[in-house]
Amino acid sequence: MIEKYSCIVIDDEPLGIELITDFVNQIPFLELRKTFGKPIEAMTFLQDNPIDLVFSDIEMPKLTGLDLLESLAQQPIFIFITAHRHFAIDGFEKGAADYLIKPVRFDRFLKAVNRAKEQLDTLKKLKNNPIKTERIFIKSESKFIRLMLKDIVYIEAQGNYLTMVTLNGTNQTLSTLKAMEEILHNSSFFRIHRAFIVNTDYIQSLNGNIVQLSNGKIIPIASNKKDQLYSLLGLH
């Protein structure tokens, strides 16, 4: 029996919802839970219902797809849909798995879905087999590099790549912050922003919504992460 991943579709245009719904129904491992014409309603639904994958238009009234992604404390995998390529690049920077340019072709949709499935499969394996270790291996260019967790200062998402900043230098690897969060679960690492995970052992100071690390790096704290970070550090 094929295990299915749950998904929703968000678009303020009914024809857009109809097309993506038809595409989703052709994918054996996807289960469509709900569709939304208003992103505010989708946000309320996502706050109370765990969903694996979200197909969302970007340009919508009152709340854009990018705003929606940023508003969620627990973020599903997102695939953005847009008529403008520059908005799609913004989606990548915010951690989306892929983007689709309107009018969406099924072959391109399938490619995006398979990319998202790879991420979801990885997250599932990590959840079922949590890694408890003092080091990780990342693939950088053509080789695997060992990084000691205690040496990692922060991790920054840049498109489909992560930049791992350590005490000894930097390395890039093809991955997502969501996948890296699962790997670093139950450790001193905390995702403080859509594009950053920090090692809390290297936090030098906090000032409102700003963190300064011991290497001088200044990183903003997302509004939906501030209370959790301060509580984690025992600050009130």
What pLDDT, on a 0 to 100 scale, did the predictor assign at position 89?
60
Report the percentage of the chain scoring pLDDT > 70.
92
pLDDT tens string 177-218: 888 887 887 678 999 988 899 999 999 999 888 999 999 999
* pLDDT of residue 143 exceeding 80: yes
The reported pTM is 0.64
Q: What is the residue type of 57?
A: D
The whole-angstrom separation of Cα 11 and Cα 59 is: 9
What pLDDT, on a 0 to 100 scale, did the predictor assign at position 155?
95
- The domains found in the chain, sorted by start residue, are 5-128 (3.40.50.2300), 135-232 (2.40.50.1020)
- Token pair, residue 95, equals 């951690």
Higher pLDDT among residues 144 and 93, named by residue? 144
The whole-angstrom separation of Cα 89 and Cα 223 is: 23
pLDDT tens string 45-84: 998 999 999 999 998 988 888 888 888 877 889 999 988 7
The whole-angstrom separation of Cα 178 and Cα 172 is: 16
DSSP secondary structure, 34-80, as one string: EEESSHHHHHHHHHHS--SEEEEES--SSS-HHHHHHH-SS--EEEE
With beta carbons less than 8 A apart as the criterion, state whether 57 and 13 touch. Answer: yes
- Token pair, residue 223, equals 């509004």
- Max avg pLDDT among 30-39, 90-99, 133-142: 30-39
